[in-house]
Amino acid sequence: MARNTAWLNQVQEKTIDPNLPICDPHHHLWEFKHERVADRYLMNEIQEDLNAGHNIVSTVFIEAHAMHRKSGPAHLKPVGETEFVNGIAAMSASGLYGKTQVAAGIVGTADCLLGSSKTAEVLDAHIVAGGGPKGRFRGIRQIATWDPHPDVFNGRLNPQPGMYLDAKFREGFAELAPRNLTFDAWLYFPQIPELTDLAKAFPDTKIVLNHFGGPVMTGYYADRKKEVFRQWRKDITALAKCPNVYAKLGGLNMHYIGFDWHLRPLPPTSDELVKAYKPYFRHTIDKFGPDRCMFESNFPVDMISCSYNVLWNANKKIAKGASAKEKAAMFHDTATAFYRL
């Protein structure tokens, strides 16, 4: 149980459009993450959210530095996460836990800064751990969230600046496309031009931007929110011109983004989320188009601000006015096509 369950339960909403098929393309699974609002998020915990009322038909697991191998070559330790998640996916595939295909796709991690040879070795090991060429492994994420200001959280791994521009990183990155593997990019908004450069350099590699490209509004940026939005809007427009780049719509509930829902006596309603986030959703959907956008939950991380039911209600309210085809794309079809589910 999450530490804020009682707080979240203060806001209850009727599920909107409960039959709409959804692929949740971004969630995590872990245990012993004591720094998180939910230190355990395994099959039982995710099932509570999946059964909240929405029609979640499949999910994609995204790496979270969980269950890496304790021993063995350092560059191969992340393969333990794929082994761990593939076991949970097999549990889900039994049908004993409900209709949702949990972790139908698995996105692990590899350190592309190690160059071509070692990255290739790790990718091939992930593919084997995910069940082979026809298994569940779909790609990697390597987090690049770095900011020069000391009061901005640089992520759990404190990555080096300019990683996506690094020549050695690109040697490793080049190993993805030949294996038909995708790349999840997580960075902060000042770094979006670096991702645009990477995408142009590798037009045959499918990339998906995580969490709107991190429009962080804490620390140095707390008093510069209008400037942040202007810069973010400009760089998202440029990034969207790369046809190999897709966008995940979500992740704004994280505490270091800066909306501070978790500090309130009551959690936000879906209407409040829509009011706060609409400019980000609208601009991203307008520039990328529904066929390159996918709504995400980012659970259990985003659980710090709202419940799973409220989050998906907000997403559905954001999509109000879209055609049935456009809704199908953003809630399901774009994600399943991108991750080959």
Cβ–Cβ < 8 Å for 29, 88? yes
Q: In whole angstroms, what is the distance from residue 184 CA to residue 165 CA?
A: 16
* pLDDT profile of the chain (341 residues), mean per 10: 91 98 98 89 96 98 97 98 98 96 98 98 98 98 96 87 98 98 98 98 98 97 97 98 98 96 97 98 98 98 98 98 98 98 98
- The count of domains in the chain is 1
**Is residue 66 in a domain?**
yes
**Is residue 11 in a domain?**
no
**Is residue 10 in a domain?**
no
**Is residue 9 in a domain?**
no
pLDDT for position 3? 87
pLDDT for position 2? 84
Q: How many helices (H) and strands (E) does the chain have?
A: 11, 10
**Is residue 120 in a domain?**
yes
Of residues 340, 240, 334, 256, the one with CA closest to residue 296: 334
pLDDT for position 155? 78
pLDDT for position 157? 81
CB proximity list for 84: less than 8 A, separation 6 or greater: 29, 66, 67
**Is residue 14 in a domain?**
no
For residue 288, give its domain range.
19-338
Cβ–Cβ < 8 Å for 11, 270? no
For residue 200, give the amino acid letter: K
pLDDT for position 80? 98
Q: At 210, give phi and psi (nearest 5°).
A: -90, 140
**Is residue 331 in a domain?**
yes
**Is residue 106 in a domain?**
yes
pLDDT for position 35? 84
Give the CA distances from residue 244 to residues 6, 283, 326, in Å, rounded to whole numbers and listed in that order. Answer: 42, 18, 19
What CATH number corresponds to the domain at position 55? Answer: 3.20.20.140
pLDDT for position 127? 98
Residue with tokens 């908004």: 189
Give the CA distances from residue 124 to residues 48, 199, 314, in Å, rounded to whole numbers and listed in that order. Answer: 34, 23, 39
**pTM, rounded to two decimals:** 0.97
Give the CA distances from residue 256 to residues 152, 219, 234, 261, in Å, rounded to whole numbers and listed in that order. Answer: 8, 9, 22, 11
